[in-house]
Each structure stands twice: as C-alpha cells, then as structure tokens.
C-alpha cells in the first residue's frame, strides 16, 4: 500500500468544497486512522476562474474529465457534481479505470444504482453513497450492517429538509406556503426552481434507495406513490394541531409478507410520534425491525460539512478496503422479486375536510355512507364555513382500507349535501 491515497473530485460546489476542507483540516486524524496521507490530486470544474468557497490550488483544477478519470495517480473518485448525466457515464468510466467511487448523488443512485454496483463489482471496485440519503446522518451503513441479523418491516421518515423547513414555519408561525417558500429560497434552503423538493421527487428518490437497502428489493421510482406539499393548506395544518397532529412530508416504506408499499406524501403525525418533533431543515428516519423494534436516526439532512462528513466516511471505508484487499467484495445483492402491495391490502387512518350543507340530516347522510364502506370515525370537528349556508366538517377515521376510503371520496362527490371535498391526508399514530 502506497503512502499517499489520491482523490479525484468531480465537482467543487457546496459539498465538494466541504470535502476539501475536511481533508485539509483533519489530515492528522486521517493519517492516524489509515496510516497514509489522503490528498486531492485533481478537481473537475466547469469554470476554473470561478470564485470558490474554499482555498484550492488552481493547478488542481481542470475542465477535462479525463484529467481525473484517466489519471493513473488517482485511486478514489468522489462525485459531487449532481445530476444523472454526464455523472453516470463518468462513474462507469471510473470503474473501467479500476477506481473506487464515492458519490452523494441520490438521483443517480436511485435511477442507476444496480447498474453502477454491477460495474463496480465486475471491476473489483467499491461504490459507496452514504451521503445520498440524510446528509450527515450515518443511515445507510447502519441499515446494511447493523440490521444484518434482523428483518426490517418499516422505514419512514423526513428525508427532505426544504419541505420540513417550510412545514415547520407554516405550523409554528402560521405563515402561508408561498411566503415560507420565498423565505426558504432567500436562506438557501430551497432552489430557485424548488419543484423536485416541494413536489416530493427528491424524497421519492431517497425512498427508492432506502427501500432497496432495507428490503433487498429493487423498487423503481415509478412505483413510489408521490405527492408534494405545494397544495397543503394552512387551514389543514391548524385543524391538525387542534386534533393533536403535526403535518410532515413523510417517506414511507412498509413490507408485509414480501409485499412492499412505498410512498411520499404529506402526512399528519400524532404529536407523540418521534418524527413529529423533527423541525426546520433537519431529517430523521424511523426504522422498525422485527428483532430490535423501533429505532430512529436524526441529524442535519444537508449542508456542506455534514454531507462532506458522510462522503469522507465512505472515503475512509474505501481506503481501508484497499489496504485489506477486500475492495469490490462487499456488495449486498437483492434477494426478493418486487411485489407491490395491492391497493386493497393497504390500510391507514385518514384526515378529511369537506364543505357540506348546514342543514338537518347532512352528517347522518355522510356517516351512513362511511358505515356502508366499513369506515368509522376517530375524531370529528364541525364548524361554520366562510361560505354562506355551508358547514366545514373535519373527520379523522380509524384504520381503513385505502380502496374503501377512495370509494368513499368518489361517493361523497355524488351526494347532494356535499359541496366540495377540500383536502384529505394520510394519518399516522393516535393523537
């Protein structure tokens, strides 16, 4: 084993700058752990002249990917450029050059993880991606190692800091979605185009990764039922608080008899649920195993140094494998064929807000409809609507079949006493 291990960086944005800072600031600790120096050999950037967030020797910068991917001095590639292309092709080239790869790219791993793992294994290279889910939270390594003798039943959590920041502000300050989104953009928590975050796509991609590792099954993105927060009304957050619930965007993966249900959607969590107290830009993931029971992982879900810390933990693992001669030999194969839980087997509690005629017999008509579909109520609020002659009715059901609840929605729309269904959400826990 040589005395220096050289790193090639693809990208020098927020996370890439953090990686360089950690390598520079903690070099003595790295040498102590690894008995070798770790240095950055070359960095791929789009613009060499651009101002950087970290001091870096201009001679290390290049706009030619071959200077990194085909550099014989480089042992480990760290990809922090983001996006699917050209990152996917770059990593395939890296494996062909027998270089180990560390990436923080959840989009790439969600869409092409199995292909990249196959290429890495074929070339006896490591592929690590701890930073792709949960930022600085040591999550993926724990799922793949600490639960190896257990059987994970459920994984659910807050895996997008932008949406959690927005919902926290709406809940605590009574601010509108539009106003909080603008504040999040000004603070750098939300992108100029926030679509991937607020419509749930970012969280859905992370749930693909978590599902794959937790259940050893490949579930493609199109099988993740996805709904974002852009249509969440402050009124529902306020009613939720009265009922003992907190609104969060929840990634949910549940396995029953090898059938898997995966979703991302705004969810009302009972205030006593561990995830209900996770605020602002923080992330948390709740993992339930048959043997260990309930566990939760909590921490910063993004940011330069938290995410770079996860990247560097993977770099250290790759170097240790190089020293032990075990590179490319620790991949966990998927075991189970994909079986998606059919809708008639999915159950949940539900929150429903509707406007109905404020007259005798209205609620009896609505209640009768739900009774016929075997859905009972846990909580009920009725209040005057802002619209003349209408009442606002808020219902929280007991556990109910998803197919029956959706049929109830269809039949409610046909009732002459119901003016409009304003909103409905999944409910988790008992308030």
Other beta carbons within 10 Å of 213: 22
The total number of residues written for the chain in this structure: 431
17 is in an annotated binding site: yes
Q: Is 13 annotated as a binding residue?
A: yes
For 205, which DSSP code?
H
Segments of 168-258 assigned E as strands: 225-226, 245-256
Sign of CA dihedral 80, 168, 264, 253: positive
Ligand-binding annotation for 106, yes or no, is: yes
Instruction: Please check if 191 is assigned to a binding site.
Output: yes
Give me the long-range contacts of 365-368 (CB less than 8 A, separation at least 24). 365/415, 365/417, 366/393, 366/412, 366/415, 366/417, 366/418
Residue 11 marked ligand-binding? yes
Whether residue 124 contacts residue 329, with contact meaning beta carbons closer than 8 Å, is answered with: yes
Is 206 in the active site? yes
CA distances from 62 to 12, 86, 311, 321 (A): 11, 16, 21, 28
- Is 16 annotated to bind a ligand? Reply is yes
181 is annotated as contributing to ligand binding: no
Report helix, strand or coil for 352: strand
Q: With contact defined as beta carbons under 8 Å apart, do 149 and 130 qualify? A: no
Catalytic residue among 42, 206, 227, 349: 206
280: left (phi over 0), alpha (psi -120 to 50) or beta: left
| Structure tokens, 373 | 């579909």
Instruction: Tell me if 12 is assigned to a ligand binding site.
Output: yes
Binding-site positions for L-homoserine: 191
Active-site residue numbers?
206
Binding region: 10-17, 106, 191
Annotated binding site for NADPH: 106
């Amino acid at each position: 084993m040589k005395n220096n291990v050289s790193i090639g960086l693809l990208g020098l944005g927020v996370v890439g700058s953090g990686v360089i800072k950690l390598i520079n600031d903690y070099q003595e600790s790295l040498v102590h752990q690894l008995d070798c120096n770790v240095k950055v050999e070359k960095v791929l950037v789009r613009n060499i002249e651009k101002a950087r967030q970290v001091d870096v020797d201009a001679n290390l910068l290049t706009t030619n990917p071959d200077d990194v991917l085909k550099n014989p001095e480089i042992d480990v590639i760290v990809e922090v450029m983001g996006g699917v292309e050209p990152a996917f092709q770059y990593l395939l080239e890296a494996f062909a050059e027998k270089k180990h790869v560390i990436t923080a790219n959840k989009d790439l791993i969600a869409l092409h993880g199995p292909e990249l793992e196959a290429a890495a294994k074929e070339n006896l290279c490591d592929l690590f991606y701890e930073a792709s889910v949960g930022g600085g939270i040591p999550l993926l390594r724990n799922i793949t190692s600490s639960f190896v003798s257990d059987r994970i039943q459920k994984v659910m959590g807050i895996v997008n800091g932008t949406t959690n920041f927005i919902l926290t502000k709406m809940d605590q300050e009574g601010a509108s979605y539009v106003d909080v989104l603008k504040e999040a953009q000004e603070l750098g928590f939300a992108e100029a185009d926030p679509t991937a975050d607020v419509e749930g796509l970012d969280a859905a991609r992370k749930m693909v990764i978590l599902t794959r590792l937790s259940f050893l099954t490949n579930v493609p993105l199109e099988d993740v039922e996805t709904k974002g927060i852009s249509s969440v009304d402050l009124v529902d957050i306020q009613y939720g608080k009265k009922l003992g619930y907190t609104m969060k965007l929840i990634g949910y993966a549940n396995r029953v008899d090898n059938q898997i249900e995966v979703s991302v959607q705004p969810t009302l969590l009972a205030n006593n649920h561990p995830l209900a107290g996770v605020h602002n830009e923080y992330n948390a993931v709740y993992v339930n195993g048959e043997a260990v029971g309930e566990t939760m992982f909590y921490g910063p879900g993004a940011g330069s140094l938290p995410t770079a810390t996860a990247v560097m933990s993977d770099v250290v693992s790759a170097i240790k494998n190089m020293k032990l001669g075990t590179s490319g030999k620790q991949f966990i194969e998927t075991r189970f064929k994909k079986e998606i839980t059919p809708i008639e087997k999915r159950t949940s509690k539900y929150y429903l807000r509707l406007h109905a005629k404020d007259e005798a017999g209205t609620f009896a008509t609505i209640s009768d409809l739900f009774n016929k579909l075997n859905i009972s109520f846990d909580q009920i609020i009725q209040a005057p609507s802002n619209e003349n002659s209408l009442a606002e009715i808020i219902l929280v059901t007991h556990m109910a079949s998803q197919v029956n609840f959706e049929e109830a929605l269809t039949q409610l729309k046909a009732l002459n006493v119901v003016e409009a269904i304003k909103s409905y959400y999944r409910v988790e826990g008992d308030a």
